[in-house]
Amino acid sequence: MIQRLEVLEGAGVTHVPKGRKLPDTPPVAQPPSAVPEGGTVAGGTADGDTADGGCATRRADALAEVAREVSACTRCTELARARTQTVFGAGSPCARLVFCGEAPGADEDRIGQPFVGRAGQLLTDIIVKGMKMRREDVYILNILRCRPPGNRNPLPVEAAACREFLDRQLEIIQPDYICCLGSVAAQNLLDTTESIGRLRGRVHDYRGIPVVCTYHPAYLLRNPSAKRSVWEDVQMLMAEMEGGNDECRNSNDE
């Protein structure tokens, strides 16, 4: 059982539906931080509590298998040599909503979980205080699963090498919505060169999944005035989710 839990934790599975045989892995605690107040709560909750057990178990197992491959990956020699560990992702395998960032930072590389530094605190605040959701009910991942030296932006060749893992994670989770955090995430996921300023404010598409783009939380730390723009994007995302289907999305798992 201990080995089983370690494998699931490595896959970033921090929450499974109630009543399942698989025990929860406690999410990384994040203190609240400033986010614009007001607005409406998000429509619907993650379907993790309503998904059938077989669906959740299969997705968790599939994510664990990909995580094992990621942990042994040396495609990007520089990143593999410099990393403390890979950062696969974290959250519910049945999440309706996936947040996609660019790459792990120093805190993430040390802990092995995405968005656990100051930017992660802001993201948690957006999810919990702004969207009225639990962080463990969404899934959070990055374009890269290794920290670039000096926290530089991912190189195109690195993003291309890691793209297989990103696509496989999303295929397993089958989210209803994706939120890209920052230009690196948005440009790589959507295969575009448009700036984040031009990408935000409208809904895009990734393999039939609606995608909303907004500024990275780290950008907000340097430019607090952009919080209003992010809140507008989050409100647009919540409106999309309110109009979507909140039933269990396990038709492809049957």
Q: Looking at residue 146, which CATH number applies to its domain?
A: 3.40.470.10
- Report if residue 36 sits inside a domain: no
How far apart CA 118 and CA 221 sit, in angstroms, is: 8
The model's pTM: 0.79
- 6-60: per-residue pLDDT in tens? 545 556 665 544 444 443 433 333 333 333 333 333 333 344 444 456 889 999 9
Asked whether residue 8 is assigned to any structural domain, the reply reads yes
Whether 59 is in a domain gets the answer yes
Domain enclosing residue 48, as ranges: 2-24+44-247
Domain assignment present for residue 38? The answer is no
Neighbours of 84 (CB within 10 A): 14
**Size of the chain in residues:** 254
Residue 189 lies in a domain: yes
Closest CA to 126 of 62, 220, 203: 220
Tens digits of per-residue pLDDT, 58-92?
999 999 999 999 999 999 999 999 999 999 999 99
Count structural domains, the chain. Answer: 1
Residue 161 lies in a domain: yes
Residue 32 in any domain: the answer is no
Sheet architecture: strand order including 203-206: 90-91, 139-142, 97-101, 177-181, 209-214, 203-206
Asked if the structure places residue 253 within a domain, the reply is: no
In 113-225, the DSSP E strands lie at 139-142, 177-181, 203-206, 209-214
| Cα–Cα dist 88/67, whole Å | 6
Query: Which stretch of DSSP H or E encloses residue 101?
Result: strand 97-101
At residue 123, the pLDDT reads 98
